[in-house]
């Protein structure tokens, strides 16, 4: 009769709880990885569109009486002043792309490569070339389109 009132957890109960927790973790953990990859992709795409919008806005505002453009590399975009990109210019603004995302293809004016430049016309804000920027990871891909009016949009 004394055993009836003894309370406690048996080793079997503990093993069952640990097994259930292990199964739940195995199911949920991969979802967090894919959510992170989606968020990093979304952030990188947003950063690139923002850089294009900023360069166009600065051009239309005639800041320093100049055009502004964007230089694309696999791991960064650089907002530059003028019509020609110079890597050593003091007023370049670099925006890094978070790994594992990279710019895998730049197609401007029909020419495709892994890097490229675009600048905006001072009077109208039209781009020097239209085209697409492909942003990708090992499993995801987004395409940004630059229209003839200079607006950038995600496809």
Q: Tell me: pLDDT of 1 over 60.
A: no
CA distance 119 to 75: 19
First to last CA, the chain: 73
Say if CB 70 and CB 120 are below 8 A apart.
no
CA distance 56 to 63: 11
pLDDT attached to residue 4: 60
Rounded average pLDDT over 43-49: 96
Rounded average pLDDT over 21-40: 87
Domain boundaries, the chain: 10-154
pLDDT per position as a tens digit, 52-73: 999 999 999 999 999 999 999 9
Q: Tell me: pLDDT of 89 over 80.
A: yes
CA distance 100 to 98: 6
pTM assigned to the model: 0.81
**Out of 1.10.10.60, 3.40.630.10, 3.55.40.10, 3.30.565.10, which CATH number does the structure's domain 10-154 have?**
3.55.40.10
């Amino acid at each position: 009769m004394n055993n009836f009132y003894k309370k406690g957890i048996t080793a079997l109960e503990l093993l069952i709880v640990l097994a259930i927790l292990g199964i739940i973790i195995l199911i949920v953990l991969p979802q967090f990885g894919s959510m992170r990859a989606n968020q990093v992709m979304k952030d990188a795409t947003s950063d690139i569109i923002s850089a294009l919008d900023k360069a166009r806005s600065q051009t239309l505002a005639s800041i320093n009486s100049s055009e502004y453009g964007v230089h694309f590399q696999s791991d960064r975009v650089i907002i530059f002043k003028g019509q020609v990109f110079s890597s050593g210019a003091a007023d370049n603004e670099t925006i890094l792309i978070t790994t594992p995302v990279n710019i895998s293809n730049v197609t401007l004016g029909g020419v495709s490569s892994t890097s490229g430049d675009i600048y905006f016309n001072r009077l109208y804000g039209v781009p020097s070339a239209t085209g697409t920027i492909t942003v990708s990871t090992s499993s995801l891909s987004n395409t940004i389109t630059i229209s003839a009016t200079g607006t950038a949009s995600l496809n």
